Amino acid sequence: MTEGLQDGKAGVAVHLRTSTGQSRYLLVARREPCARCTSGTRTISIWATARGRGEAIEWCSHCFDATCQPIRLEDEHRERHQAVRSAVAEGKVSGPWHAVRPALEDLERRGLL
């Protein structure tokens, strides 16, 4: 399992702001083959709110199976959360984005996903 943003690319911070004004910080983004269809690639992302509540958002490029569910953050996620929030405070950030997909498509364009 590769976790691209944590693998020597910790300088990349991605900030999302929802339509209700809540912030989400990207902790993990990666791609893997979809288990529900044979030809799709799943994009898997883990986000945290400012208060450290975790959310896993995934979707498949082929069968469009998509899920969004709350998750409990692990220690490595919490460390990443601190690092991302520090980077955001210093202005080293991509965003704020208003939706998950364009934020991750931007990472892909920059070769980070």
Residues at the site binding Zn ion, with contacts judged by CB under 5 A: 34, 36-37, 40, 60, 62-63
CB of 111 to Zn ion, least distance (A): 24
Q: In terms of CB distance, is 62 or 110 closer to Zn ion?
A: 62
DSSP symbol at 5: G
CB of 66 to Zn ion, least distance (A): 10
CB of 7 to Zn ion, least distance (A): 24
Q: In terms of CB distance, is 42 or 85 closer to Zn ion?
A: 42
Instruction: Supply the DSSP string of 8-63, one letter for each residue.
Output: S-TT--EEEE-TTS-EEEEEEEEEEE-SSSSS-EEEEEEEEETT--EEEEEEETTT
Rg (CA), the chain: 13
Q: In terms of CB distance, is 62 or 101 closer to Zn ion?
A: 62
